[in-house]
Amino acid sequence: EGVQPQEYTLIKMEVVQPFPLKLGPLEGKRVFLAAATLRPETMYGQTNAWVLPDGKYGAYEISETDVFILTKRAALNLAYQNFSKIPQKPSCLVELTGYDLIGLALRSPLAVNEIIYALPMLTILTNKGTGIVTSVPSDAPDDYMALHDLTAKPALRAKYGVKDEWVPSEIVPIINIPEFGDKAAEKVCLDLKIKSQNDKDKLAEAKRLTYLKGFTEGTMLIGEFVGRKVQEIKPIIKGKLIESGEAILYSE
Ligand code: A2H
């Protein structure tokens, strides 16, 4: 963890009824996977959520009505930031693992796809963010490669019990970057010949290339701000998500 505090937008990805058995105790509540992102303006392109299969998660009471699924570490930080039903103290209703979350059907703010699914990603860190990541394969190299692995490897899907219909078949183009086109992550991963989600060094380079260019030179291809510069509309979209209650701010 860095010395500088990092501010994330937590996107509330709502778990759609009916709940699986393991989430039975949450019946009647609004339950969300809370995904930490630095790129709220990319939420139009969400195709799925990522969870760490062996990761430990819990369902925490955030308010009278809302429950967030995330790591205990994030729940504790949130409690200190006034997001807990019990002031300053995380309140866990159910302990979960990533395996329990794979296949959950979700509805996520701004996403073009009405229903998206929670799928396994093996490189998620549990000491960063919430341990839940929203997947935007058009613009995030990690997301593109994790999705590529699942699509290309039936054995990987079988290992984690992933049904074919949960895996998105299309990437949603959301931002144009003059140098990289409409699916920057795909282009850069192909150019750098990245083999899998575990290709750490090359992925770091891919992220560096897309992240900077996306912010400084990207324009929106979709949504309320189509044609506008990413740089200009990022804070506006972030503000709207917070104001509407579809996201909250979180620091660590
Ligand atoms: B970003 P930083 Cl479109 N483990 O959101 C691994 N990765 C995590 C994580 C965790 N525990 N928590 C968050 N992240 C991801 C969107 C996005 C992101 C786009 C492009 C780039 C990008 C959609 N995924 O991040 O280490 C989340 O993915 C590039 C780094 O705090 C979050 O933003 O800088 C980002 O990493 C936070 O990474």
Whether 154 maps to a domain, the answer reads yes
230 pLDDT band (50/70/90 cuts)?
A: very high
Q: How far is the CA of 91 from the centre of ligand 1 (A)?
A: 26
> Would you say the ipTM is above 0.95?
yes
Domain count, the chain: 1
Q: Which residues pair with 118 in a beta bridge?
A: 49
2 pLDDT band (50/70/90 cuts)?
A: low
Whether 63 maps to a domain, the answer reads yes
Whether 2 maps to a domain, the answer reads no
Residue with tokens 């341990």, as numbered in its chain? 131
212 pLDDT band (50/70/90 cuts)?
A: confident
Whether 132 maps to a domain, the answer reads yes
Task: Report the pLDDT value the prediction gives residue 104, as an integer from 0 to 100.
Answer: 98
Which CATH number fits the domain that encloses residue 174?
Answer: 3.90.740.10
Q: Which residues pair with 50 in a beta bridge?
A: 119, 133
Q: Is the dihedral of CA 149, 155, 160, 165 positive or negative?
A: positive
Q: What is the pLDDT of residues 11-54, one digit of tens each?
A: 999 999 999 999 999 999 999 999 999 999 999 999 999 999 99
Whether 227 maps to a domain, the answer reads yes
Averaged pLDDT of the chain: 97
CB of 6 shorter than 6 A to ligand 1: yes
Task: Report the pLDDT value the prediction gives residue 3, as an integer from 0 to 100.
Answer: 74
Torsion, Cα 204 231 119 132, to 10 degrees, reads 90
Domain enclosing residue 135, as ranges: 7-251
Rounded to an integer, the average pLDDT of 106-127 is 98
CB of 128 shorter than 6 A to ligand 1: yes
Whether 1 maps to a domain, the answer reads no
